[in-house]
Structure formats: structure tokens, C-alpha cells
Structure 1
């Protein structure tokens, strides 16, 4: 079953929030600043489903801050979030990856125009296949 575009990214944010909380529980970061950061992250989680357009700037800022504040988990930040929030987040993506996400968005927009269901994960897997692979 395909999830909505916002729901997909919200689930990724919840997962990232779990990782950030674990850092605090493991006492790998200063508690005072970390708690405030998690509060801002929770605000984003609450705002995104209600006002997606308004949450984009805050999301972009928080994702970039994760790279700066928590470099030890940079490799765990879902790539989809970088594309979703865009802006400064795109500095952490190579050009080839940006091209892949552009193609994904084109497919998503085409599916929306045709009132078709779009499965982000399935389409991403199909685009990642080598050119000579069968695509069903």
C-alpha cells in the first residue's frame, strides 16, 4: 500500500527523531542543548501534517543542524529528507543523486496528473536499477 508523500517523509522524520533521542539517552551529546533541539524537532513533526508549506523552512534548518550538531549520525539521515526539504539540504547530495530525485518527482507529478497512485519507495527502487535490468 502506498503512503502519501507527506506521510512517507513524516515516518522518516519520526525515525530520525528516534535516533536523535537515543543519542541523548546514551549521553553522547550535551543534554541542555539537545533537549531544546528535540523540542524544535517535535514542533516540526506536529506542524508538517497540518501546514506542510509552512514547515518546509523549519525542516530544512533542522536537517542542516543535524549534520552540524550530530556529525556522528550524518550517514543515518534518510536521503529522502534531504530532497524533501531541499534548499541547503541539497548541498549534502551529489549531482547524480539529485538527478535521481528529480526523475522521481517527475514521475510523482505525472501520476498525480493522471489520478494514479504513486508508490515513492517502489519507484525509487525502479530508478536505482541498472539500465539493462528488467523493469516491470
Structure 2
């Protein structure tokens, strides 16, 4: 996986971590396991750049746990992270969204094979734009 791709997802994970920390600071967590969860989350942030493949299972577990442990922030989980980690995370995505991400990955791999530039966010915007031809 390209560093740009990993860096994009690391930035999303960092943003999500700030939300998780704020949740703990707001005392909306009733048990002591939140600190242990954040320790495992930090482990993911640390390991992902050096060993992305080995980090996928931990990422799947941690992201899936957000939907179970912290349902009040589940809507704030970036969709890109669900796709990136895959596995059980895909259960939280509708089929049409999975199809869009599959098309996005195909574009990314095509660009990599042909040494073409690829901007994940720009390509995602292009895929989510409504098709032309509608009448007003």
C-alpha cells in the first residue's frame, strides 16, 4: 500500500481518536475500559505505518467496537475507515456504498499500475456525483 493511502487513513484515525478522547473527557463513558480501548487504539496508530497488513485485524476490531461501545458517535466514523479495514467493518456499510468503494479501489489500482497520479478524495467525489441528464 502506498504511503499516501496509509497517511490518509492515519489522519482519519487521528481525527476519530480526538472524538474518542473528548467522549471520555465529557464523562459519557461509564466503565474503566475506555482507557484500555484508547491504549489499543494508540497501538494501531503506532503499528499501521510500519506494518499495514498486520494492523488490519486490530483496526477491524477497534472500528467495529465503536459501533457497539460508543453508538452515540458511530455516525462520526469516517466511511473510508470502514472500507480500509474491511472484514466485519463492511457490515456497517450498505451495498451501494460498498460498490462505490470497489470502483474507487479499481481506479486506484489502475492509476498505480500505469504510474498515474491518484487523488482518493477527488476520485471519491467524482464517483458520488449525480449522473448528468436529469431535467429540472
Q: So what's the TM-score if we normalise by structure 2?
A: 0.94
What corresponds to 1:99 in structure 2?
99
- In the TM superposition, structure 1's runs of 4+ consecutive aligned residues that sit over 6 Å from their partners are none
What are the equivalent positions in structure 2 for 1:1-136 lying under 5 Å apart?
4-30=4-30, 32-132=32-132
8 A contact 1:24–1:31 mirrored in 2: no
Higher relative contact order (CA 8 A, sep 6+): 1
**What do the CA deviations read for 1:5-56 (whole angstroms, capped 9, x no partner)?**
1000000000000000000000000352100000000000000001000000
Q: State the secondary structure of the residue aligned to 1:73.
A: helix
Q: State the secondary structure of the residue aligned to 2:55.
A: helix
Question: In structure 1, what is the Cα distance between the partners aligned to 2:15 and 2:117?
Answer: 24
Q: State the secondary structure of the residue aligned to 1:107.
A: helix
Question: In structure 1, what is the Cα distance between the partners aligned to 2:75 and 2:27?
Answer: 20
What's the CA shift for 1:126? 0.5
Count of residues paired in the alignment:
131
RMSD: 1.1
Question: In structure 2, what is the Cα distance between the partners aligned to 1:46 and 1:60?
Answer: 15
Unaligned runs of 5+ in 1: none
Question: In structure 1, what is the Cα distance between the partners aligned to 2:80 and 2:121?
Answer: 10
